[in-house]
Amino acid sequence: MFEIIYKDIEPKEENERIIKKVLDKCFKEENIQDSKLSITITLTDANNIQEINKKYRNIDRATDVLSFPMFEKDELKQKIENKDFINEDILGDIIISIPKVEEQAKEYGHSFERELSYMIVHGFYHLMGYDHIKEEDKKEMRPKEDKILNDLNILRN
């Protein structure tokens, strides 16, 4: 279902516990828990995420989370509807800057768990083909994110 890679930061059991809990809920919510879809999550620092952002998005600055989906939304929707999970497929990659998570948790006045959980849910829904650039897309994506976090009782403070 997922693999965690640590790049230039120390592994922490807390991160893995949070990621597992949130992704389990995401997979169940989208009814893909029995699929052979997997996600690679890279936890890294600001320098690495800035390099990736520059290389793949031509934006030369650090960010909090990047998502690289393997499917278009309609293609994935059809795959899920047809239960077409004979082979293992990669849903995509999520890259998260742990220092940025820590910084934003303080800035927004909530826990590290809340901020990391949000990054995971946000990245997951990008992999599922959702976006938030246009207001109508945001209205579809945000409630899904909120439902996961609320169901897990991971609330804003």
Which has the higher per-residue pLDDT, 75 or 50? 50
CB 10 within 8 A of CB 133: no
Can you list the alpha helix ranges (DSSP code H) found in the chain?
13-29, 46-57, 73-81, 98-108, 112-127, 135-151
What mean pLDDT is predicted for residues 1-21?
Answer: 96
- For residue 137, pLDDT over 80 is answered with no
CB 97 within 8 A of CB 46: yes
How many domains, the chain? Answer: 1
pLDDT of residue 97: 98
pLDDT in tens, 78-106: 888 887 776 678 999 999 999 999 999 99
What is the pTM (predicted TM-score) of this model? 0.93
Domain contains 115: yes
Domain contains 108: yes
Please give the distance of CA 83 from its chain centroid, rounded to a whole number. Answer: 22
**Residue range of the domain that includes 109:** 2-151
Domain contains 117: yes
